[in-house]
Amino acid sequence: MAHEFGHAMQARFGFSEVTIRDETQADCFAGPFTRWVADGNAEHVSLRVPELDDVLVGFLELRDPVGTDEDVEGAHGSGFDRVSGFHSGYTGGVGTCRDEFGPDRVFTAREFDDRLDEANEGNAPYEDIGTLVADSLPLFYDSWFPQVAGTAFEAPAIAGFDGTAPDCGDMRAEDLDLGYCAADGTVYVDETDLLQPAYSDVGDFAVATAVSLPYAEAARDQLGLSTDDSAATVSTVCLTGWYTARFVDGDFEEVTELSPGDVDEAIVFLLTYGRSGSVLADVGTRGFELVGAFRDGFLEGGTACDLGI
């Protein structure tokens, strides 16, 4: 309903000529209303802050079918486009909805340009993903790390395990499904209990998202920053958003390209698997905050990721 009231506001001040811009702006207008309710101002309706995760899941359910181009008449946007619009309004207020939906608004909805990719619903074979991620992550960090740290980035090894975490650092003691162990410079990921289920439930870029999180911990460790508190959690998710944006920009074309729906898969992973203490440090960070951090990195780059850039 708040989305539809957003359209009523647009009717007063004028619609744009692009459907997806109107629809995601209406999502944005739903944000300030939701914030007003969450702050306890509504007499007949209430919303607890933890329930914001469910609100975002609702927007994901209302996304366009994967492969719908942003220029199609009637397009409402990808899951990321819709969630991002709502998040803008919730955190920035009505003025954000007015100012941030011009011609330069970034959308991730696009059509398939490869029939095989479309037939596979945008998913690479599971056995190929590890190589694609292991090749693209060093390219991402090599592109900016030396300018920030003054030294070259030392790419961590990536190793999978089968249900039982390795006895390195806190991995086994805390029964983690993924993490970076500074003692041996390795990113560990649980293929049995995390990667394979995430691939089946969400898609191939859920796997890339999962691996990117502890990889970002390795980068923070090399920068002398924390790796196990709420600031680290937000920062690693933000870095994953930045990494994803660079994919969208085509910076890793020599390795692979993103498929339609991949950015949505990152959001879905964060709202489902990402809320588990075995995936991200159990520091009270909600899915809504994780999605916000990912969005900040995706749209603003490293300046949003608490790296001192």
Q: How far apart are CA 121 and CA 98, in angstroms?
A: 35
**Nearest in space to 137 (alpha carbons), one of 155, 123, 114, 119:** 155
The residues, ordered by sequence, that sit 6+ positions from 53 with a Cβ below 8 Å of its Cβ are: 271, 275, 286, 287, 288
Q: Is 153 exposed, middle or buried (0-12, 13-18, 19+ CB in 10 A)?
A: buried
What does the pLDDT read at residue 92?
A: 96
Q: How far apart are CA 16 and CA 128, in angstroms?
A: 42
Whole-prediction pTM: 0.94
Instruction: Report pLDDT digits (tens) over 9-36.
Output: 766 777 777 889 989 999 999 999 999 9
Q: How far apart are CA 223 and CA 221, in angstroms?
A: 5
* Contact yes or no for 85/223 (Cβ under 8 A): no
The percent helix, strand, coil of the chain (3-state, each to 5) is 55, 5, 40
Instruction: Report pLDDT digits (tens) over 88-144.
Output: 999 999 999 999 998 999 999 999 988 888 898 899 999 999 999 999 999 999 999
Calculate mean pLDDT across residues 289-309.
94
Instruction: Report pLDDT digits (tens) over 58-72.
Output: 999 999 999 999 988
Amino acid at 307: L
pLDDT at residue 152 greater than cutoff 80: yes
